[in-house]
Amino acid sequence: MIKTDALIIGAGPTGLFTAHQLKLIGLNCEIVDNLDKIGGQCIELYPDKPIYDIPAIPECTGEELTNNLINQLKPFDIKFHLSERVEEVKKNNENWEVKTNKGTEFSTSNIIIAGGVGSFEPRKFSPKECEKFENKSIFYLIKDKSIFKGKTLSIFGGGDSALDWAIELSKDSKVNLIHRRDEFRGTQTTVDKMNDLAKNGKINLFTKYQLKSANGKENLESIDVEHDNKEVKNLKTDYVLGFFGLIMQLGPIANWGLNLDKKHIPVNTENFETNQKGIFAIGDICTYPGKLKLILSGFHEGALAARGCFKYARPDEKLRFEFSTTSKSVHSRLGLKKND
Amino acid sequence: MPKITYIEHNGEAHTIEVTNGLSVMEGAVQNNIPGIDADCGGSMACATCHVYVKEEWFNKLPKKEDGEEDMIDMAFEPKKNSRLSCQLMVSDQLEGLVVNLPEKQV
């Protein structure tokens, strides 16, 4: 069981800056994120898109912002638990006990939910029968590509994941690539490569088609795909792969006893605490009158939530307000040399 | 204020007046119309404000910008007449607009 003063759920910009604020006031923290990388929506949804409304940064991309926030955390040794999703949150006396899907356990006086609009999950096929084939013959991510060798695969999607896998798997498998329109949003070189393979008969390309049904009793036998003009084709297939990007799902957060307003968590604006003592919510996931879903608002909310954590983590101490320009204790936490 | 009709997947219709300058998505969210999630808040980053627009209206709307069609690839059951309602700005030209909501957004 890992003991920490505050557990931050979400490694997006809000979670990262909040870690910095916690460390400046002398609290420890660890960060859990369901994605395999740091940066949250900034890195998953718009790494290359410029952001123009971060104070004092005229323009930066989601990736640059993330890298700057990681650099800002360098003086501190913060443990990240990536590719882990928090499943359970339970009260144990004064502390919260938290467990992830990988079995990591934490005991903490404070939880700060900086989870965007929940965790990123793959978007799935809409026909209901697809569920029963999921993880048997229908996949949304590939763990072991060797199972596809010599088989017939139907790959759906128009982005880089779908194209990259279609190209890669066409070496050893019969590949159908199916997309709802005839433009692909993948990078041009990848699209060109796929088109070459399609021309040479290595990939069977079906554009303007979507999945209509998945057929088979126990095992998947074939799929029906429907053209924009309603024409239906039956394709014999062993496996179906769907790459429709990631969507945000609130997930287990809904089970932690928090008040919810649609997919958001209501908080007070004094320290962004929820209806549960010691659980704070900041960034896109929180709501209060006047809430703006801006990164800068997340920074502000994190600064106040960090101070809100102090009284539970250090009940016998008094938090003094200090400026980073002048405070000796802040300087020592930042590892700065003493010049005076 | 233009009247906009949102028809849920179950057929229930909601006609509301939406202030010019708001998006069709914001009109729905501010009036608690079920069926529009708008997770990303209108930045064309999530495809959870997906609507279907009837043909006669579809052609009258301003064309999709780059990125909208890419995002619609990720919507639930996209069709030819799919739009993201966060990209549809309300103006007097949209008086009487009818949008149909998909069965779900995610």
User: How far is the C-alpha of A240 from the C-alpha of A134, rounded, in Å?
Assistant: 9
Whether residue B41 lies inside any domain: the answer is yes
pLDDT score at A248: 80
Domain A124-244 has CATH 3.40.50.2300: no
Asked if A185 is an interface residue toward chain B (Cβ–Cβ < 8 A), one would say yes
Q: What are the chain B neighbours of A46 within 8 Å (beta carbons)?
A: 45
B73–A157 CB contact, under 8 Å: yes
Q: Is the pLDDT of residue A339 over 70?
A: no
pLDDT score at A180: 95
Q: What are the chain A neighbours of B78 within 8 Å (beta carbons)?
A: 180, 210
What the block records as the tokens of A111 is: 């939880």
SS3 label, residue B17: strand
Cβ-based interface (< 8 Å): residues of B facing A: 37, 39-41, 45-48, 69-70, 73-74, 76-78, 80, 103, 106
Whether residue B27 lies inside any domain: the answer is yes
Rounded to two decimals, the pTM is 0.80
Kind of pairing, strands B3-7 and A152-156?
Answer: unpaired
Q: In this complex, which of B70, B76, B103 lies closest to A185 when CB atoms are compared? A: B70
Q: What are the chain A neighbours of B47 within 8 Å (beta carbons)?
A: 247
Determine how many CB atoms are found less than 10 A away from the CB of residue A222.
16
Asked if A158 is an interface residue toward chain B (Cβ–Cβ < 8 A), one would say yes
**B96/chain A closest Cα distance in angstroms:** 27
Chain B residue closest to A120 (CA)? Answer: B46
Q: Is the pLDDT of residue A45 over 90?
A: no
Question: Tell me, what's the ipTM?
Answer: 0.81
State the average pLDDT over residues B23-27.
97
DSSP type of residue B71: H
Q: What is the 3-state secondary structure (H, E, C) of chain A?
A: CEEEEEEEECCCHHHHHHHHHHHHCCCCEEEEECCCCCCCHHHHCCCCCEECCECCECCEEHHHHHHHHHHHCCCCCCEEEECCCEEEEEEECCEEEEEECCCCEEEEEEEEECCCCCEEEECCCCCCCHHHHECCCEECCCCCHHHHCCCEEEEECCCHHHHHHHHHHCCCCEEEEEECCCCCCCCHHHHHHHHHHHHCCCEEEEECEEEEEEECCCCCCEEEEEECCCCEEEEECCEEEECCCEEEECHHHHHCCCCCECCEEECCCCCCECCCCCEEECHHHEECCCCCCCHHHHHHHHHHHHHHHHHHHCCCCCCCCCCCCCCHHHHHHCCCCCCC
- Domain, as residue range, for B59: 3-100
A248–B46 CB contact, under 8 Å: yes
Percent of chain A whose pLDDT exceeds 70? 99
A210–B73 CB contact, under 8 Å: no
Q: Is the pLDDT of residue A112 over 70?
A: yes
B73–A180 CB contact, under 8 Å: yes
Asked if A294 is an interface residue toward chain B (Cβ–Cβ < 8 A), one would say no
Q: What is the pLDDT of residues A286-295, one digit of tens each?
A: 999 999 999 9
Any idea what the CATH number is for the domain that residue B82 is in? 3.10.20.30
State the average pLDDT over residues A86-95.
94
User: How far is the C-alpha of A235 from the C-alpha of A224, rounded, in Å?
Assistant: 6
A249–B106 CB contact, under 8 Å: yes
Using alpha carbons, select from A75, A16, A19 the residue that is nearest to residue A40.
A16
A138 and A214 in contact (C-beta within 8 Å)? yes
State the average pLDDT over residues A105-122.
93
Q: What are phi and psi of B43, to 5 degrees?
A: -105, 15
Q: What is the pLDDT of residues A235-278, one digit of tens each?
A: 999 999 999 988 888 889 999 999 998 889 999 999 999 999 99
SS3 label, residue B25: helix
- B44 versus A59: the higher-pLDDT residue is A59
pLDDT score at A207: 97
Q: Is the pLDDT of residue B49 over 90?
A: yes
Whether residue B106 lies inside any domain: the answer is no
Q: What is the pLDDT of residues A168-189, one digit of tens each?
A: 999 999 999 999 999 998 899 9
B39–A263 CB contact, under 8 Å: yes
A126–B77 CB contact, under 8 Å: yes
Q: What is the pLDDT of residues A122-159, one digit of tens each?
A: 899 999 999 999 999 999 988 889 999 999 999 999 99
Q: Count the domains in chain B.
A: 1
Using alpha carbons, select from A87, A42, A27 the residue that is nearest to residue A319.
A27
For chain A, what is the mean pLDDT?
A: 95
Whether residue B62 lies inside any domain: the answer is yes
What the block records as the tokens of A36 is: 């395999």
> Which residue out of A120, A178, A180, A181 would a mutagenesis test of the B interface target, given it has the greatest number of B Cβ atoms within 10 Å?
A180
Chain B residue closest to A209 (CA)? Answer: B79
User: How far is the C-alpha of A51 from the C-alpha of A55, rounded, in Å?
Assistant: 11
State the average pLDDT over residues A278-300.
96
A45–B70 CB contact, under 8 Å: no
Taking the domain A2-120+247-333, which CATH number applies? Answer: 3.50.50.60
- Which residue pairs, CB below 8 angstroms and at least 24 apart, start in A220-223? A220/A133, A220/A136, A220/A137, A220/A138, A223/A154
B76–A123 CB contact, under 8 Å: yes
Confidence of residue A36 (pLDDT cuts 50, 70, 90): very high
Domain edges within chain A: 2-120+247-333, 124-244
Confidence of residue A340 (pLDDT cuts 50, 70, 90): low
